[in-house]
């Protein structure tokens, strides 16, 4: 198996939790190291890798793939530099800060014959995989509406300055919003139009921290919500069809287990507790069904499998740059809608 030599552009929470553990155990990747600006931490966890002093030093190394996992406002600059250096790239969400930036990165990758993927790991959450199966199985009938939540109770401002300083990459719309939007687009495609309501609810906050987006499709509607003042959680997914409904709490355990330092175990990894199973109420062959539905296993490893396959075997990326462009189009439309208080057509 060809080894894809891979480096990270930072080793903060995302590098330590979401990337390095999977790159380290995947037989198709060789983790070379990370650019580290002040704290030198990656060698404490992986003594055999490098700590680069600059992005130029990293790009001068024999690296095939670079993970752009820096603050959102830097994604375009760094991803462009990576691509122009002839390296494949994985860029975290939000992909960029504008549609124009997203399209330019996609064009550069295409012109240079490079792979460019967006890190939308939440497509491989256990809860999302389960609702995806419910929809694909057709047990709800023709869909009427869906509502996705990514809620938290956290009234305090983040200690990370880039998250709380007013800038093009800050705010919940470009933090949690891309997860919700990408999941909706992965399930239903791009909507016809968007209505967005974007607010600041925390005391002394300078960035948006509450969103309510309505994605308007021809025959149904999808509402996406996220905020920091939800002490009693809503279902993460509520889906109503003409035959029935499915409600699912947020239950994926992968992030919490990775934060505890647990290594991905591909046998039992991403297995939710049964208490977080979703509830299905529908009808089949005239018979009413009310039952809990076993949750599918989540596994972010599958994203890295897809990245490996795209580079080694010239397959399509697991989340493409065009997927990233679609998400940015909805984000831009939501911002315009909230400012103008009207529906924006895509």
Q: What's the pLDDT tens digit per position in 194-228?
A: 999 999 999 999 999 999 999 999 999 999 999 99
Q: What is the pLDDT of residue 167?
A: 87
Q: Are 172 and 199 in contact (CB under 8 A)?
A: no
How far apart CA 269 and CA 251 sit, in angstroms, is 13
How far apart CA 327 and CA 320 sit, in angstroms, is 11
Q: Where is 108: in which H helix or E strand?
A: helix 99-112
For 208, list phi and psi in degrees, rounded to 5: -60, 140
Exposed/middle/buried for residue 196 (C-beta within 10 Å: 0-12, 13-18, 19+): buried
Strand 287-293 relative to strand 278-284, pairing: antiparallel
Distances (CA, A) of 258 to 68, 109, 218, 298: 19, 31, 40, 13
Q: Which of 99, 2, 21, 15 is nearest to 266 (CA)?
A: 21
Q: Are 78 and 68 in contact (CB under 8 A)?
A: yes
The pair of structure tokens assigned to 307 is 């990245």
Low-confidence ranges of the chain (pLDDT < 70): none
Q: What is the pLDDT of residue 38?
A: 87
How far apart CA 93 and CA 178 sit, in angstroms, is 6
Q: Where is 216: in which H helix or E strand?
A: strand 210-216
Give percent helix, percent strand, percent coil of the chain, each to the nearest 5: 35, 25, 40
How far apart CA 76 and CA 328 sit, in angstroms, is 13
Query: Domains of the chain by range and CATH?
Result: 4-121+303-315 (3.40.50.720), 122-297+330-345 (3.30.360.10)
The per-residue pLDDT for range 13-49, each reduced to its tens digit, is 999 999 999 999 999 999 999 999 988 999 999 999 9
Helix residue spans in 143-205 (DSSP H): 161-164, 177-188
Q: Which of 278, 195, 183, 273 is nearest to 238 (CA)?
A: 278
Query: 240-243, long-range: CB within 8 Å, 24+ apart, which pairs?
Result: 240/140, 240/143, 240/144, 240/145, 240/146, 241/140, 241/141, 241/142, 241/143, 241/144, 241/282, 242/140, 242/141, 242/142, 242/143, 242/144, 243/139, 243/140, 243/141, 243/142, 243/282, 243/283
Q: What is the pLDDT of residue 110?
A: 98
How far apart CA 327 and CA 331 sit, in angstroms, is 6
Q: In DSSP terms, which residues pair with 292 in a beta bridge?
A: 279
| CB neighbourhood size of 148 (10 A) | 27
Q: What is the pLDDT of residue 254?
A: 96
How far apart CA 95 and CA 10 sit, in angstroms, is 16
């Amino acid at each position: 198996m060809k080894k894809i030599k891979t480096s990270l552009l930072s080793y903060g929470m995302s590098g330590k939790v979401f990337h390095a553990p999977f790159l380290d155990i995947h037989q198709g990747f060789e983790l070379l190291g990370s650019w580290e600006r002040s704290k030198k931490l990656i060698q404490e966890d992986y003594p055999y890798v490098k700590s680069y002093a600059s992005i130029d030093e990293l790009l001068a190394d024999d690296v095939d793939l670079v993970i752009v996992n820096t603050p959102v406002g830097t994604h375009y600059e760094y991803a462009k530099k990576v691509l122009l250096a002839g390296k494949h790239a994985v860029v975290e969400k939000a992909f960029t800060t504008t549609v124009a930036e997203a399209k330019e990165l996609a064009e550069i990758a295409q012109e240079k014959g490079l792979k460019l993927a967006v890190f939308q790991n939440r497509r491989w959450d256990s809860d999302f995989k389960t609702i995806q199966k419910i929809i694909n199985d057709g047990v709800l009938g023709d869909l009427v509406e869906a509502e996705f939540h990514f809620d938290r109770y956290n009234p305090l401002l983040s200690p990370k300055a880039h998250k709380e300083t007013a800038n093009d990459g800050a705010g919940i719309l470009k933090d949690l919003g891309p997860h919700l939007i990408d999941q909706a687009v992965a399930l239903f495609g791009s909507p016809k139009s968007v209505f967005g309501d974007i607010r600041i609810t925390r005391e002394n906050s300078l960035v948006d921290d509450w969103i309510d987006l309505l994605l308007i499709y021809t025959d149904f509607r999808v509402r996406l919500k996220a905020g920091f003042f939800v002490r009693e959680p809503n279902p993460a997914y509520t889906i109503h069809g003409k035959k029935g409904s499915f409600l699912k709490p947020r239950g994926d355990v992968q992030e919490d287990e990775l934060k505890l330092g647990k290594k991905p175990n591909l046998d039992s990894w991403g297995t939710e507790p049964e208490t977080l199973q979703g509830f299905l109420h529908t009808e089949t062959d005239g018979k009413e069904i009310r039952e809990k539905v076993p949750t599918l296993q989540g596994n972010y490893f599958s994203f890295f499998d897809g990245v490996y396959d795209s580079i080694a075997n010239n397959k399509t990326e697991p989340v493409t740059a065009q997927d990233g462009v679609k998400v940015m189009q909805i984000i831009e439309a939501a911002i315009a809608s909230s400012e103008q208080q009207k529906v924006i057509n895509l």
